[in-house]
Structure 1
Amino acid sequence: MNSARARILIVVGIVIAAFNLRPGVTGLSPLLDAMGAEIPLSAAFLAIIGMLPPLLYGLSGFLTPRLYSRFSGLSLTTAAMVMVAVGLGVRAVTDSPALFLGLSVLALLGMGIGNVVLPPLVKSYFPDRVALMSTVHVGLLQFGTFIPPLVAVPLATGVGWRGSLLVWAGFGVVGVVCWIIIRLIRPAPSAEVAAAVVGGSELARLMRSKRAWALMTMTGLTSFNNFILFTWLPSLLTRAGFDAAFAGAMLALVTAIPLVLGFVLPALAQKMTSAYAIVAGFCISLAVGYIGLWLLPTAAPVLWTVLLGIGISTFPLALTLITLRARDAESAASLSGFVQGGGYLLACTGPLIFAFLVQSFDAMWPAFAVVLVSVAVKFLVSHAACRPGAI
């Protein structure tokens, strides 16, 4: 296959893989009430299902770069798509909450591997088009975050909650077919990505870098709030008196804002000396959205949701900064693993802490106090995270 066709095939593969990295998460939370009416779901199940995505993304962040020392990026992406398709497909038909969680672990590990593999693939196959391909990667990831909650409840009305979940397993199957083809053809990269492992001297180097820690903390606290909203926004709105369809639509809206901004932030970040002003504005927006949702949830729910969506838009910017701040294709896998690994491990505490505080207190202020403190810390560390220069 000639070089031009190979690059087109890789673009298609990245688009499909990026889309598959979130539907298994955001397509589930609007259906938990319907699922709970058929399968008894305990409070522990709800806490664990909210914690699993960032936890497994974090573990994958440290595991995946090590796998580079034995397998290629093409092989890892293919395996990730298989894990997503099998995990999402089988969990949709099980009646066991424990098995549902186990299959979710399989699917989420696949998504976590994909999170870490795609930035080095972009750096490897498109070293001269990093901003453009980062826009494609981040945009499709956000698109795969936005669509599922928008259509989850309407789909469940027609085909049941199981059928609604199976739709995303079907997209996983498409990803499997596409990446098997790519794996068989094995298009040659423009720049080789070596086995950059997050361990030993490389881990020590990153752990000595204040900027690496700042970028990891900024990314982690962004995901900390992302997964709280992915898990709890529909529930908070239904508690305030809105119906499930409206709550699902608001979850779709809160993910749509990063989708839209994700198409412009990568190019903007590449042109700016520092993206700190953008992150600072996003932090203010997130804080105001939380305060509105807490104190006046029925007054302007759409406004609060839009402000929250703007606030969590730091995530596509953070993904772009990982690629832009890496010294070369080799270090991209290592930095991606460190930032996403540590960041997601930090983020996994968000849904768990929020669930504990909501269920333990009659008042909502402890839960909202935690998220507002997290926004303040993110505001403080982001200046160092956004500084120009290679990490």
Structure 2
Amino acid sequence: MKSAWASGLIVIGIVVAAFNLRPGVTGLSPLLDAMGTEIHLSAVFLAIIGMLPPLLYGISGFITPRLYNRFSGLTISLAVMIMITAGLGLRAIVDSPALFLALSVLALLGMGIGNVVVPPIVKSYFPDRVALMSTVHVGLLQLGTFIPPLVAVPLASQFEWRGSLLVWAVSAALGIAVWAVIAVLRPAPRSQVSATVVGGSELLRLVKTRRAWALMTMTGLTSFNNFILFTWLPSLLTRAGFDPAFAGAMLALVTAIPLVLGFVLPLLAQKMHTASPIVAAFCACLAVGYLGLWLMPQAAPVLWTVLLGIGISTFPLALTLITLRSRSAEASAALSGFVQGGGYLMAATGPLIFAFLIQSFDVMWPAYAVVLASTAVKFTVSFSACRPGSI
């Protein structure tokens, strides 16, 4: 297969895979009220559905390098698209909350595996264009996060809530078609992968590497704050006296900023000697945003939201660093699994801790103390995580 055609096909595959790794999550929450009128959604269901994404993303991070040890990244990507399509499609037509959760697990596990398998594919097929392809990967990932909550309710008004959910199953089904072609044609990678290293000694080496732990902590604490804001920002704003429509608009804004920055940060990270100044500036924005939301919410809510959005934009930067700081495709697979596995498990605790503190105390300072402390820790570890050279 000619190199140009092979590269173009892989680019299309990365685009459709990256876009479909988030809509099943962010396109659901605006529809929970509509679902509740037809299916009884208990408090336990709501707690579980909110915790499942980071939990399963974390588990996927640890199992995907093992899968990479036995199967090619192309085969795994096709399986990922099948899992997402089946899970999202079937859960949209069931009436049982338990079955809905089970099918969500299938879809989210596919998304989690997809999170980990894309970076080594980029490293294998575009070793000399890592920053550019990381921009494509991260940008489409953020786009797939931003669009679904904006269109979920309008789609539901036209096609009911089930139809709104099915849209993202159809989107993932297009990914099956693309990756089926890629899996059949099997274009040769430009950087050969020594698969035996991925699940064994390479992962063991990372466990003993301080910089790998630093990058995992930086990524995990970023997602820790991401999920807290995605879950609690509207509620915090309505508690401060703003109407729900404004709070919803601020949620869209806080997700839009990482989308925009996601198209810039990968190239910027490659050009800079170290990305730590970016992380330090973003940590400052996150801290000021939290302080403003806590102490002066009415003064400048849009400014606080913008600062919070900038603050959580270290996530696309962290994904880029996984690829940039890997010595090879197999090292990228292992590092991606280690960083995202541990990072997402850390992130899964965020909404639960924040909810417990808000509901257990009559004052807000314990909850804000936790997120500010997490920001300080992220700032501290970022110097090691962003240091130049391979991990």
Taking the aligned partners of 1:8 and 1:340, their CA distance within structure 2 comes to: 27
Paired with 2:244 and 2:170, the residues of 1 have a C-alpha distance of: 25
- Which ranges of structure 2 fall in alignment gaps of 5 or more residues? none
1:73-222 correspondence to structure 2 within 5 Å: 73-195=73-195, 200-222=200-222
TM-score relative to the length of structure 2: 0.95
Mapped to 2, the partners of 1:363 and 1:212 lie a distance apart of 37
Q: Secondary structure at the match of 1:270?
A: helix
Taking structure 1 as reference, are residues 294 and 89 closer, same or farther at Cα in structure 2, changes over 3 Å only? Answer: farther
Q: Which residue of 2 aligns with 1:22?
A: 22
Q: How far 1:6 moved relative to its partner?
A: 1.4
Gap change, CA 1:43 and 1:373, over 3 Å in 2: farther
Distance 1:57 1:265 in 2: 23
Deviates more, 1:207-216 or 1:294-303: 294-303
Q: Matched residues in 2 for 1:194 and 1:242: separation?
A: 55
CA shift digits 1:206-250 (9 cap, x unpaired): 122111110000000011111122222233334445454443332
What SS does the corresponding residue of 2:79 show, helix, strand or coil? helix
- Structure-2 residue corresponding to 1:375: 375
Distance 1:57 1:70 in 2: 20
Q: Is the 8 A contact 1:322 1:336 kept in 2?
A: yes
Instruction: Give the CA RMSD over aligned residues.
Output: 1.8
TM-score, normalised by the number of residues in structure 1: 0.95
Distance 1:163 1:248, change over 3 A: farther
Identify the residue that residue 327 of structure 2 maps to in structure 1: 327
Cα shift at 1:197 = 5.5
Quote the sequence identity (%): 79
Any idea what the Cα deviations from partners look like across 1:7-52, whole Å, max 9, x if unmatched? 1111011000000011111112222333334333333222222211
Contact 2:69/2:199 (CA < 8 Å) preserved in 1?
Answer: no
1:68 alignment partner, SS class = helix
CA-to-aligned-CA distance 1:57-103 (integer Å, 9 cap, x gap): 11111101101121111110011011111111222222222222211
Structure 1 stretches lacking a partner, 5+ long: none
Contact 2:198/2:331 (<8 A) preserved = no
State the alpha-carbon separation in 2 of the partners of residues 54 and 195 from structure 1. Answer: 27
Q: For residues 191 and 115 of structure 1, do their structure 2 counterparts lie closer, same or farther at Cα, with a shift above 3 Å needed?
A: same
Judge conservation of contact 1:134–1:266 (CA < 8 Å) in 2.
yes
- 1:307-346 paired onto structure 2 within 5 Å: 307-346=307-346
Alignment match, 1:348: 348
Quick check: 230-239 or 349-358, which moved more?
230-239
Distance in structure 1 (CA, Å) of the matches to 2:242 and 2:344: 31
CA contact (8 A) 2:77 2:114 kept: yes
Aligned-partner Cα distance in 2 for 1:81–1:98: 23
Question: Any idea what SS the aligned residue of 1:373 has?
Answer: helix
Q: Greater shift after overlay, 356-365 or 326-335?
A: 356-365
Task: Report if the CA contact (8 A) 1:220-1:347 is conserved.
Answer: yes
Q: Distance in 2 between matches of 1:183 and 1:37?
A: 42
Q: Distance in 2 between matches of 1:201 and 1:224?
A: 29
